[in-house]
Amino acid sequence: MAQGPVKLKPGDTIGILGGGQLGRMLAMAAARLGLRCQVFSPDPDSPAFDVVQAATCAEYADVEALELFANDVNVVTYEFENVPAATAMVLAARRPVLPAQKILETTQDRLVEKDFVSKLGIGTADYADVSSVATLHAAIARIGLPAVIKTRRFGYDGKGQAIVRDGDDIDQIWEDLGTKSAILEAFVPFEREISVIAARSASGQVECFDVTENEHRDHILKTSRAPAAIPDALAAQARAIAEKIASALDYVGVLAVELFVVPGNGAPTVLVNEIAPRVHNSGHWTLDGASISQFEQHIRAIAGWPLGKPVRHGEVVTMTNLIGDDILSYEQWLTVPGATVHLYGKGAPRPGRKMGHVTEVTPPRKS
């Protein structure tokens, strides 16, 4: 269906696919701007259901439910990148879907994504397509060890990937991965990991937040710090990369680009690891640490409203994820001076489950 540019008015409704904490925080940002949200999720315990008046609890393959949902909303967005293509197609035939469906085809597949980034002339780890144990051996011969093998699709938080080291049983690693489509990446000896959260409007305006530095524990983001402790020139380079990617995708909304900082010739440089076509955990600090949050920027972009120019509050902002049993200490966090506590309203604290986060803003230095 041909659709003109989206221009929502206060009171209009945004449909959000996915009911996790990202959907919840998107809906809260929309509410502050006078916009309503309807959340679509198959999980009856979705944390995002708690903050919206209208919810659809149905499977993503339920065409009738999708059609009814589309009828209720003015525009559709999503909080996770693995939206099934058929789901996006049913919705896109009825309502604008932003970011556009074709973006999912690039970002759902690590090989397609890496090819896309490389064609833009942006550096990534050396990589190879792997579809059998024979091609894995050939890829190792070319790329060398250590290396990281990753399934092309459906990997997150370290799932669907393994480090391959000298002396490992390659055939066993391939069997354990349990897929026929993977990529092998050179292991990057990174100095640090950073991310850029960028917003792009339909008219092509791009606004990036301060580059964020991220530390993972057990493959899951544990803390973020903004700004990243990197030279200004490198931060500018990282932001330029995010802008180039957003523009090349003709992207509307917020996206995150995860990068590795690696030693370069004289000065450090960056390699792109991954693109997330959505708001991102490493941008949670913007809720309390900037004049406009990543969630509000995303809502503004998909509503066809002008983006804000985000200004960071304070010298340094840190964000600490409350993962699994970390949540049991929430009352202690409530007493920490200057800390802002966010709890996602999830049920049991399973290991690895993101239950909430805490932001701390260091006041500006007095000059």
- Decide if 28 contacts 51 (C-beta within 8 A): yes
- Least separation in angstroms between residue 90's CB and ligand AMP is 29
Q: Where are the alpha helices (DSSP H) in the chain?
A: 21-32, 63-72, 85-92, 101-107, 110-119, 133-143, 170-177, 232-248, 286-289, 294-303, 330-334
Report d(CA 330, CA 70) in Å as an integer: 38
Contact present, 236 and 218 (Cβ < 8 Å):
no
Which residue, 108 or 273, has its beta carbon nearer to ligand AMP? 273
**Closer CB to ligand AMP, 36 or 225, in the complex:** 225
Give me the DSSP letters along 82-110. Answer: T--HHHHHHHHTTS-BSS-HHHHHHHT-H
27 binds ligand AMP (CB under 6 A): no
Binding to ligand AMP by residue 187, rule CB under 6 A?
A: yes
Each residue 214-233 as x (binds ligand AMP by CB under 6 A) or -, in order, gives --x--x--------------
Q: How far is CA 280 from CA 86, 115, 155, 156, 214, in A?
A: 24, 22, 15, 12, 12
Q: Which is nearer to ligand AMP, 226 or 257 (CB)?
A: 257
Choose between 187 and 305: whose C-beta lies nearer to ligand AMP. Answer: 187
Shortest Cβ distance from residue 144 to ligand AMP (Å)? Answer: 12
**Is residue 155 a contact residue for ligand AMP (CB under 6 A)?**
yes
Rounded to whole angstroms, how far apart are CA atoms 294 and 288?
Answer: 11
Write out the DSSP string of 14-39. Answer: EEEE--SHHHHHHHHHHHHTT-EEEE
Q: Does 273 bind ligand AMP (CB under 6 A)?
A: yes
State how far the Cα of 49 lies from the Cα of 44, in Å rounded to an integer. Answer: 8
Q: Candidates 15-23, 42-50, 185-193, 301-309: pick the segment binding ligand AMP (CB under 6 A).
A: 185-193
CA distance 66 to 87: 8
What does the block give as tokens for 232? 């200004």
Q: Tell me how far, at minimum, the Cβ of 159 lies from ligand AMP, in Å.
A: 8
Stretch that binds ligand AMP, among 93-101, 183-191, 194-202, 314-322 (CB under 6 A): 183-191
> Is 158 an interacting residue with respect to ligand AMP (CB under 6 A)?
yes
The distance of closest approach from Cβ of residue 70 to ligand AMP in the complex, given in angstroms and rounded to an integer, is 32
Judged by CB under 6 A, the stretch of 50-58, 74-82, 186-194, 359-367 that binds ligand AMP is 186-194
Using CB under 6 A as the binding criterion, the count of chain residues that bind ligand AMP stands at: 13
Query: Which residues of the shown chain bind ligand AMP in the complex (CB under 6 A)?
Result: 125, 148, 155, 158, 185, 187-188, 193, 216, 219, 258, 273-274
